[in-house]
């Protein structure tokens, strides 16, 4: 069994002026700066989008806390340390213990692979600047089959999605404006936000990142079938997908209209449709994830294994079932490669007018 050890080598920032935490944070910021202005065709080298930077910084913060507690610099890390870290995040490969779900992204081997790539890139940059040989701990783990082939086509399972009964149950929950069906106290503005965000994932196919990026100005009301009801939303591009207009299911449009009224009553500032605070600050990756997962749990879907993206998959499947083409649905989802729609072939679901 691997035990905590005292580092015996010195990293780039190893001096008495910095704590381990400060050194690790500076390593991350140096990596971000190294990519600034880079328009390389290699996605792993080009400048980071703000959305990606926020996610990577949250990931790195967790890794920083782990290393600082053990007084580990990047040059000191062993493969066993990374195994321990991934296991603590619920991403490790250990058949003897269940995965532990913690704050952050969906926990999977693919997410673990993403973590290892991040650690490896920052470690290599630090070593290159210092003129020393890079620590290969992360690379060694990436050579393991479970991580090396985590993105392989045969590792891409059939997407999780909601049944028609689950869809109806979730819609019934998110459209309640009181704490319970018997007419309890009105829900708080943040709960209204959370439920409306989930409504847009299920009723418009938005991803969590889309939910956090859309502005109030992107809501389209004019020209719809129901006067005064939002029926379409403009989603800005994010580097991986182009800007797009996505239709909103009628029930989700009503929920969105309710949220807009709450937003106005609370005098929420800024242009973000779903902000973190009344001052209009951006909703964090972790904050959005945790808040929306709580909505699913409150609706009785806590055992569903597909995470938030099963809402998006449910939207796509029902659009296809209602006769929309793969090209149309791919456009709704912001997918530039229509071949991504292959995952939905062979899955038959009810058209369910509710989505």
pLDDT 10s digits, 126-166: 999 999 999 999 999 988 877 776 665 444 566 888 988 99
User: Among candidates 194, 195, 177, which has minimal Cα distance to 186?
Assistant: 177
At 7, the pLDDT band (50, 70, 90 cuts) reads: very low
Q: In this predicted structure, which of 52-61, 97-106, 217-226, 300-309 has the lowest mean pLDDT?
A: 97-106
DSSP for residue 103? S
Alpha carbon dihedral 308, 309, 312, 314, in 10-degree steps, equals -90
CA distance 207 to 278: 23
Residue 150 confidence (pLDDT): 63
pLDDT of residue 87: 83
Distances (CA, A) of 51 to 47, 120, 243: 12, 21, 15
Task: Give the C-alpha distances (Å, rounded to integers) separating 294 from 64, 142, 201, 302.
Answer: 27, 33, 14, 8
Residue 86 pLDDT more than 50? yes
Between 323 and 206, name the one with better pLDDT. Answer: 206
C-alpha span between 89 and 91 (Å, rounded): 6
Share the mean pLDDT of the chain. Answer: 83
Tell me the pLDDT band of 44, cut-offs 50, 70 and 90: low
Alpha carbon distance 248, 125 (integer Å): 44
Look at 347 and 198; give whichever has higher pLDDT: 198
Structural domains in the chain, CATH included, are: 20-155 (1.10.150), 164-344 (1.10.443.10)
Residue 307 — very low, low, confident or very high, per pLDDT cuts 50/70/90?
A: confident
The phi and psi torsions of 13 (rounded to 5 degrees) equal -105, 25
> For residue 292, what are its two tokens?
């929306």
Tens digit of pLDDT for each residue in 174-229? 999 887 655 678 899 999 999 999 999 999 999 999 999 999 999 999 999 888 89
């Amino acid at each position: 069994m691997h035990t905590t050890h005292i580092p015996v080598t010195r990293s780039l920032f190893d001096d008495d002026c910095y704590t381990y935490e400060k050194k690790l944070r500076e390593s991350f910021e140096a990596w971000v700066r190294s990519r600034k202005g880079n328009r390389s065709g290699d996605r792993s080298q080009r400048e980071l989008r703000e959305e990606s930077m926020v996610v990577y910084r949250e990931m790195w913060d967790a890794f920083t806390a782990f290393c600082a507690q053990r007084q580990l610099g990047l040059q000191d890390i062993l493969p066993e340390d990374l195994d321990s870290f991934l296991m603590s995040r619920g991403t490790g490969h250990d058949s003897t213990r269940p995965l532990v779900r913690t704050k952050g992204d969906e926990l999977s081997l693919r997410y673990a692979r993403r973590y290892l790539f991040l650690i490896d890139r920052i470690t290599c940059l630090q070593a290159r600047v210092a003129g020393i040989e890079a620590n290969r701990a992360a690379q060694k783990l990436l050579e393991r089959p479970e991580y090396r082939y985590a993105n392989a086509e045969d590792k891409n399972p059939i997407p999780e999605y909601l049944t028609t009964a689950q869809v109806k149950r979730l819609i019934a929950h998110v459209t309640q404006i009181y704490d319970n069906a018997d007419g309890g106290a009105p829900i708080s503005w943040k709960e209204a936000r959370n439920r409306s965000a989930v409504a847009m994932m299920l009723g418009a196919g938005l991803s969590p990142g889309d939910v956090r990026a859309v502005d109030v100005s992107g809501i389209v009301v004019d020209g719809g079938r129901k006067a005064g009801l939002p029926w379409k939303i403009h989603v800005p591009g994010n580097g991986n997908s182009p800007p797009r207009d996505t239709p909103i299911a009628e029930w989700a449009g009503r929920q969105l209209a309710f949220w807009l009224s709450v937003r106005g009553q609370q005098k929420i500032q800024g242009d973000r449709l779903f902000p973190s605070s009344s001052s209009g600050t951006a909703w964090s990756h972790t904050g959005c994830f945790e808040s929306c997962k709580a909505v699913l749990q409150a609706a009785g879907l806590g055992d569903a294994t597909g995470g938030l993206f099963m809402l998006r998959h449910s939207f796509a499947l029902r659009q296809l079932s209602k006769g929309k083409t793969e090209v149309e649905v791919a456009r709704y989802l912001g997918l530039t490669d229509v071949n991504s729609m292959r995952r939905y072939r062979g899955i038959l679901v009810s058209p369910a007018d509710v989505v």
